[in-house]
Amino acid sequence: MSTARPSRRGVMKAAAGLTAMTALGTGGVLASASAAHAAGDGFGLRIVDRNESDARMRYYRFATSAIGWNPGVNVLLPDGYHTSGRRYPVLYLFHGGGTGQDFISFDRMGIRAWTAGKPLIVVMPDGGAAGWYSNPVHSNVGARNWETFHIAQLLPWVDANFRTYAEYNGRAVSGFSMGGFGALKYAAKYYGHFASVSSHSGPASLRRDAGLVTHWANLSSAAVELGGGTVYGAPLWDEARVSADNPVQRVESYRNKRVFLVAGTSPDPVNWFDTVNETQVLAGQREFRGRLGSAGIPHEWHEVPGGHFVRPDLFRRDLDGIVARLRKA
């Protein structure tokens, strides 16, 4: 379903799409996103590794005080980026949880083919094996402030180093599983940053069923991310943080956004991980959709057979909707 767009958008888009811009980085470093621009440091990020040889897929790894190790990011450019001179909308795409998931996950799945010919920059950062797109209450292994890294550092760094629209109608956020939760969370907490939000098998309710998703966030982060620390605090939660991050408690923050939701209806009954995850995803998304509907907030939703896995056909559908919603290149 479509959402409201500024009336001046159509008048300005052609001129704005070709207009060059600059952005001021941390420490007063001026970064220009020209066609042949090599990305530079700024906004608390220092590049320690890079590969800019591929025409579309750029790779960077950063040193940052927000994370106790050097997180990576893939930036997938649209066809013709280097010669068009145009500015493009941006999708921030977040991976799911697990020790095998990272910033390369969507490249392994086929994101280059899914986006071929689409006028869209796709940014795919590390989010930790169980970082939950959050600054944790406590960590025993050093800084793991993923929310700070993504919102305060990476987002302005991308706008400074690539030809983007640094505005509400220029950005979308999406993700799978834990990343789908991260997308819903960021879209609500940082309302003015993202005009479109998508959650593919991502939980939308932290408190239902006695807070099962919150408990899972705490247990998984303690086990593989924080060395016994937790995202939301244990044995007692930081209630203010849970409320701030909980999509079903932030329904008004999705007004005037494009909202796209996917959940599976038939997880594998002999696979406890699949069953527990997608059963909770489905129930939470239904609760969320009910509140969106009661508030009169348009949204597109898909309940489809299967369990907790990425569905390329719905990702492609989502990408088309994102391109249609955001400001044109």
Catalytic member of 105, 221, 308, 318: 308
End-to-end CA distance of the chain: 21
Catalytic residue, chosen from 177, 196, 205, 220, is 177
Query: Strand 258-264 relative to strand 300-304: parallel, antiparallel, unpaired?
Result: parallel
Tokens of 38: 């090599």
- β-sheet with 121-125: strand ranges across: 46-51, 57-63, 72-76, 121-125, 90-94, 171-176, 196-200, 258-264, 300-304
Rounded to whole angstroms, the Cα distance separating 144 from 130 reads 10
Question: Across the strands, what pairs with 260?
Answer: 198, 300
State the Cα–Cα distance between residues 63 and 43, nearest whole angstrom. Answer: 11
State how far the Cα of 21 lies from the Cα of 133, in Å rounded to an integer: 29
- Choosing from 159, 245, 274, 318, the catalytic residue is 274
Q: How many CB atoms lie within 10 A of CB 165?
A: 22
Q: Give 130's contacts (C-beta < 8 A, 6+ positions apart).
A: 97, 98, 178, 217, 220, 221, 223, 224, 225, 226
Q: Which amino acid is at 227?
A: G
Angle subtended at Cα 296 by Cα 294 and Cα 298, rounded to the nearest 5 degrees: 120
CA 243 to chain centre: 19
In the chain, how many H helices and how many E strands? Answer: 11, 11
Residue 115 in contact with residue 76, Cβ under 8 Å? yes
Angle at 318 between CA 183 and CA 265, to 5 degrees: 80
In this structure, the number of other CB atoms found within 10 A of the CB of residue 201 comes to 30
Active site residue 274: yes
Could you confirm whether 266 is annotated as catalytic? no
Residue 138 annotated in active site: no
Question: Can you say how many angstroms the Cα of residue 137 is from the centroid of all Cα atoms in its chain?
Answer: 21
Residues labelled catalytic: 177, 274, 308
